[in-house]
Amino acid sequence: MAIVVMLTVVLVASFSGGFYGVRTERETYAPIYKGNSDKNKVCLMINVYWGTEYVLPMAEIFNEYGFKTTFFIGGSWAAQNPGIVRQLADMGFELGNHGYNHKNHKNLNEEQNKTEILVTENLLREITDTEPAKLFAPPSGDMGDVMHSVCEQYGYKVIMWTRDTVDWRDKNSSITFSRAVKNLAAGDLILMHPTAHTLEALPKILKYVRASGLEAAKVGEVI
C-alpha cells in the first residue's frame, strides 16, 4: 500500500480516449521552441544585452518592411538605456524578459531566479509605463526546474528557438542570412542579436520572409 501511495504522489494519471496516460511533473515545464504553423508567421527575435548602436537601426528596418518582432531585453542593459527601451515600446515592438545579468538560470535558486526575472519585469514596466510581455528567454538557453517553476508561478512562457543564427560568434552577414532562412517555415522562432553583420543581413532576410509568403511578427503573435 505504501508503494502505491508514493507512486500516486509522483505521477498524475488521466483517463482519455479509453486508456490511462501518465503525466510527469516535468512535462508541465515545457519551453516553446516553435510557434503555431497555422498562423503563417515567423519571429526574428532579438536578444539584447549589448550591441546598443544596432538596436534602433534594426527596429527601423523592421518598420520599413511593415514587420514587427520581439526584443528580449536584459535588465542591466535596460537600466543603462531606458530611452532606447522606451522608443522600442513606442514603435510597437514587443518587449520580452531576458533576465537582469545574463546568468545561468539552471544554477540559480528560487529567490535568485525571482530576482533576475521580476526586477527586469518591474524595470521594463517603469520605463515604458506598459505591461511587458510575459515571455522569458533564458540567457544562453540554460534552463532548470526551479527556473521553470518560477516562470510558471508568475505566468511566464519560456521561449527558446527553432534555430539560432549564432551571429554573436560568426561575424558574417551571409552566414547569418543562410542560418536565418534555411528551411524557413511558419511558426519558426529565429534567434538573432544586435550586431553589425546581422543589421546588414536583415533587409535580405525580411525580403526572403515576404517572398516566402510569410510575415515577420512578435513572439506573442507566432506562438
Read off the pLDDT of residues 27-83 as tens digits, 9 standing for 90 and up: 457 999 999 999 999 999 999 999 999 999 999 999 999 999 999 999 999 999 999
Residues of the chain with pLDDT under 50: 1-27
How big is the CA angle at 36 (ends 120 and 31), to the nearest 5 degrees? 45
69 within some domain: yes
Check residue 194 and give its pLDDT. 98
Task: Tell me the residue range of the domain where 108 lies.
Answer: 32-222
- For every residue of 177-221, DSSP letters joined together read HHHHHTT--TTBEEEE---HHHHHHHHHHHHHHHHTT-EE--HHH
Residues 6+ apart with CB under 8 A from 179: 163, 164, 165, 166, 167
Interstrand relation of 12-16 and 19-23 (parallel, antiparallel or unpaired): antiparallel
Place of cell 507512486: 7
CATH (domain of 180) = 3.20.20.370
Q: How far apart are the first and last CA of the chain?
A: 44
State which H helix or E strand residue 64 sits in: helix 52-64
Count of structural domains, the chain: 1
165 within some domain: yes
Check residue 222 and give its pLDDT. 98
46 within some domain: yes
Check residue 220 and give its pLDDT. 97
pTM attached to this predicted model: 0.87
22 within some domain: no
23 within some domain: no
Nearest to 211 by CA among 37, 42, 70, 34: 42
205 within some domain: yes
12 within some domain: no
10 within some domain: no
Check residue 29 and give its pLDDT. 76
Interstrand relation of 70-73 and 12-16 (parallel, antiparallel or unpaired): unpaired
DSSP-derived letter for residue 188 is: B
Check residue 28 and give its pLDDT. 58
Nearest to 191 by CA among 199, 180, 183, 201: 180
Count of alpha carbons within 13 angstroms of residue 199, beta-carbon side: 13
